Amino acid sequence: MSPPKPPASRAPLQSPTRREFLHQGTALGAGLLVATLPFGAHAAMPRTTLASTRSGRIRGTIEDGVHVFRGIPYGADTAPRRFQPARPEVPWQGVREATAYGAVAPQRGAEGPGCENCLFLNVWTPGLRDDAKRPVLVYIHGGGYNTGSCSDPLYDGGNLCRRGDVVVVTVNHRLNAFGYLYLGRLGGPELASSGNVGQLDLVQALQWVRQHAREFGGDPGNVTVFGQSGGGAKIATLMAMPAAAGLFHRAWTMSGQQVTAAGPRAATRRALRFLGALGFGPDDLPTLRTLPAERLLEASAAHDPSWVEDTTLYFGPVLDGTVLQRHPFWPDAPAQSAAVPMVIGNTRDETRALLGGDPANFTLCWDTLPARLEREQYVDLPVDQVIAEYRRLHPHYTPSEVFFAATTAGRSWRGAVEELEARARQAGADVAPTWAYQLDWASPLEPELGAFHTLDIALVFDNTGRAGARSGDGAGARRLAERMSEALLAFARSGNPNHAGIPAWPPYSLAHRETLLFDTETRLAHDPRGGERELWRRAPFVQRGTL
C-alpha cells in the first residue's frame, strides 16, 4: 500500500524570521529554528531543528552538532491490526515533537510491558536537505525476537555521525507473539503473514528510510543494515525475504545468525501451545485479536515444546511460503542478496554472558560438566566425545572453560560458520565478498567473562563512554572502538571494511577462512578454532525453533 498523502493544509517549511536568525548563530546548520525568548534566556535553551516527513513536520534537537529526531512514527498503531501487516502512520497537523523515544513493543522483562503503538524510529544526521548523499546506517536491536528496543543509550548514533559523516537510524518493531506468532494454518487469509509481521515492520521502516533519506542528508542508494544478536538474525532473514530486496546495500551482523527458520508445522504447534496457555482453541482467534496485550505476554511464558529445558516459547521467523519462501541460509545463501557485501562477526566467549548468570557454571567439575553441557550445547553430538575433544585441543582448560567454549561453538558461532561457508560457496560475477571477524578482547570491567555476547555493541557504535557500556572507557577500549567503528564506517562508504588502522583484512574464503581478530593487538588469522569447527561439523546445524 502506498503511503498516505500529506494533508493539503500542511504548510511547507518556513524560513526563520530575522530575529530567529540572529539567535541561531552561524553554525546551527540547515533546518534549525530557535524560539524567541525574553532577552538573556535564549542561551540556556536547547537548540531545535525541523524536518519534513511524508506525514507532517517534526521538531528534533541538535546535540553536539548532530541533528537528532527521536520517536518518528513509520507505521500506525498495530493494535487494530494485531497479527497483520501494519498500515502507514496517520498524518498530523502542525509540528510534531520528535525529542523523546517512542514506545517500545509489548514485551516481558525490564523494558516491558510496552505498547502496541510501537512503530517508531530515530534519526541522527550531521545535516538536512544538503544533498550530501551520506551513507545511511540502519541499526536493528537485539534481544532475540522477544525483547529489546532502539532506545538503549548504547545505540545513540551521534558519535558515528561525528566520526564518519553518516546518517544513523534505529528502529522499533513488533516482537514475540505480536510479531512472530504463526496463525496462518489456524486462521483465515488475513493471518497468512502473522508469523513474520515483525519482519514486515522492518521492511516498512526500510521503505520509510529510502523515501526520506535525502531529507536527512543521506543517500537512498547506500543503506547499510547492522545489528547485534537478534538484530543480526533479523538481517539474515531480511536477506532472504523478497519484500526486502533492494532496500539495503550492505549488511553487518554481530553475533546474530539465522540459518534456518521455524517450519510451519513447528510454528503451528507453538501457536496451539500459546492458545492453550490462554485456555483457548483455534475457534477463539477473533477473541485473541482483542485480548489485552498483557494476557498475550503472560501466555508467551508457556514452556516451549522443543527439547530445550526450562525455556519459554520460541518466537522467530517462519517459513510460511509467502513472506519467507526459503530458509535464510540453507541449503545455500539467498541469491537475491548475493550482490550485497556482508560482514559476519562474533565474540569469542559468547555464552559467558548468556549462561554466566548461573554461578554454578563457573565451578563445574568433570563429573558435573556432562549433564550441564548436554542441556546447553544445542548441536546434538555425544557429550562425552565433545568433552574428550576439547580436552585434547585445550588440555589446560578447566571443566567450566570447556563448558563455555563448547556452548559458544555449538550455538551462535556454528551459525556464523554456516553463513560464512554458504556465502563463500556462492559464485558469479555479481557476488559480493563477505568478511569475518571475531572479538577476542576482554573488558577490564568483567575479565572473567572474556569477550562476551554484546561486548562489541559499544565498540562498533564508538560509545564506550555511554552509560551501560560494559567495555569501560579506558584507553584500550577507546582504541578498539576506533578500529571497529572505522571498519563499520568504511564498509558503509565503500562496501569494504578495510582502513588504515587495522591489518589487511581479506574476504572470507573456504581455502583460508580469513578472520580478523579484534584484540589489544588486532591481527588476521586463518581458520581460528579450526579444531572446534571440525568437531561441530560432525552433526548438521538446525537453528533452535526450526523443529
> What's the farthest any 2 CA atoms get from each other in the chain?
79
Q: What is the 3-state secondary structure (H, E, C) of 160-194?
A: HHHHHCCEEEEECCCCHHHHHCCCCCCCCHHHCCH
Q: Which of 236, 377, 262, 241 is nearest to 319 (CA)?
A: 262
Rounded CA separation 167/170 (Å): 10
Q: Which three cell numbers stand for residue 518?
A: 579484534
Q: Pick the catalytic residue: 173, 412, 453, 471?
A: 453
Q: Is 350 a catalytic residue?
A: yes
CA 86/CA 117 separation, integer angstroms: 10
Catalytic residue, chosen from 193, 194, 229, 443, is: 229
113: preceding bond cis by omega (within 30 degrees): yes
Provide the residue type at 85 as one letter: P
* CA pair distance 355, 440, nearest whole angstrom: 18
> Strands, E, within 194-249: which ranges?
218-228
Closest CA to 249 of 219, 277, 287: 219
Beta-ladder partners of 502: none
Identified catalytic residue from 116, 350, 418, 514 = 350
Question: How many whole angstroms separate alpha carbon 518 and alpha carbon 499?
Answer: 14
Instruction: Read off the C-alpha cell for 153.
Output: 543509550
Count of Cβ atoms closer than 10 Å to residue 71 Cβ: 19
Count the Cβ atoms, other than its own, within 10 Å of residue 527. 14
Q: Could you count the other beta carbons within 10 Å of the beta carbon of residue 533?
A: 16
> First CA to last CA across the chain, in angstroms?
34
Active-site residue flag, 229 = yes
What stretches of 95-162 adopt beta strand conformation (E)?
95-97, 120-125, 134-140
CB-based contacts of 269: which residues, under 8 Å, 6+ apart?
Answer: 305
Helix (H) or strand (E) holding 62: strand 56-63
Cα separation, 74 vs 56, whole angstroms: 12
* CA nearest neighbour of 306 among 9, 543, 66: 543
188 CB-near residues (< 8 Å, 6+ apart): none
Give the three cell numbers for residue 43: 542561551
Nearest to 52 by CA among 183, 285, 211: 211
Structural element, H or E, at residue 60: strand 56-63
Q: Which sequence positions are flagged as catalytic?
A: 229, 350, 453
